[in-house]
Amino acid sequence: MRHFDIQVPDEALRPALQTKIDNLNKPKGSLGRLEELALQAGLIQHTTEPSLHRPCHILFGADHGIEREGVSISPRDITWQQMINFTRGGGGINMFCNQHGFKLLIVDMGVDYDLMPYPGIINRKVAAGTRNFLHEAAMSMEEMDQCIDTGARLVTECHDMGCNVISFGEMGIGNTSPSSIWMHLLQDIPLSTCVGAGAGLDDDGIRHKRHVLEQAVARFRSEYPAFRPGRATTEECTEVLRQFGGFEMAAAVGAMLRAAELRMMILVDGFIMSACMLMASRLNDAVLPYAVFCHEGDEAGHRLMLQGMGAHGLLQLRLRLGEGTGAVCAWPLLQSAMHMLSDMNSFDGANITKYF
């Protein structure tokens, strides 16, 4: 797998940043999470005057072999239909990207449909969907490496355009299933807690989904009996990615790692993108200081997953659309944090006596 040389943000500037934030004309800590975001941005950019430029959103699309087992209420045709819809500006993510000024890149990593006639879609297709991980590994090592490299290259292109803050989304029917297994195997959380309704399964559907995923995990554990959930080595985490991941998820992992390598702020969406950040952090834990977890959804176990990474979402809007909508919706909060640092008066500047 490609090596990413990610540098943990230099903590030397923290006292100066914290002093600047504390001396804005407000009670100490009174702007809460906005103060945390400003501090994080300053550490990432190593300046007391951080700024965010040319935000980009990359949406990766792909199909999943496990969808054939009835683990989603939606058929796989929805993947390609929505991908085409995005090119026409008709998706939820189109609306939010237009509203907030994000450049949207739509990428076919492995959709089971010919999307070549649609020039608005970047063709990086690895195959027409992953294999069914109930019976075999979802992808080969070569396919996994190709996905990671593709995600990394696309982030480099955004960075070269002047982007220093980036978000990711996904389109792939069935992708809450690999996300649940990643969470189970990487954090040692009971699978029953990790499996939820996805796009809208009823109780019977959730039970069926859980049964299928239990069988898939049992297959994996029989092939790798020494694997210890929650204590996997980097090499074992790579194998979990290969065994269960989607092409769009592997691309997102590579994209996140490259974004951190380039010292970009990473806006993380809901359950599936949080699972991708979890995987990225197990491959290189230096990625986490660059992540802003934007939305905490209703998918079973999402809060536990975030807690395992020492995080909690900025927003709790009960979103379950995917596409990265939660990440883009959080953008005004980041803008507010930047304006707080650049536009708000200090006590000295406003001739106000400190009152904390």
CB contact at 8 A, 277 and 291: yes
**pTM of the full structure:** 0.96
Supply the pLDDT for residue 196.
Answer: 83
Q: What is the pLDDT of residue 355?
A: 66
Residues of the chain with pLDDT under 70: 300, 350, 355-356
Q: 250 — alpha (psi -120 to 50), left (phi > 0) or beta?
A: alpha
Q: Residue 348's pLDDT is what?
A: 79
Residue 112 C-beta-side C-alpha neighbours within 13 Å = 16
pLDDT of residue 349: 75
Residue 274 tokens, joined: 């949080």
The per-residue pLDDT for 353 is 73
The answer to whether 196 and 301 have CB atoms below 8 angstroms apart is yes
Catalytic residues: 323
> Taking a C-beta distance cutoff of 8 angstroms, is the pair 292, 311 a contact?
no
Rounded to whole angstroms, how far apart are CA atoms 192 and 26?
45
Phi and psi (nearest 5°) for 314? -65, -40
Quick one: pLDDT at residue 279? Answer: 98
pLDDT number for residue 78: 97
- At residue 356, the pLDDT reads 64
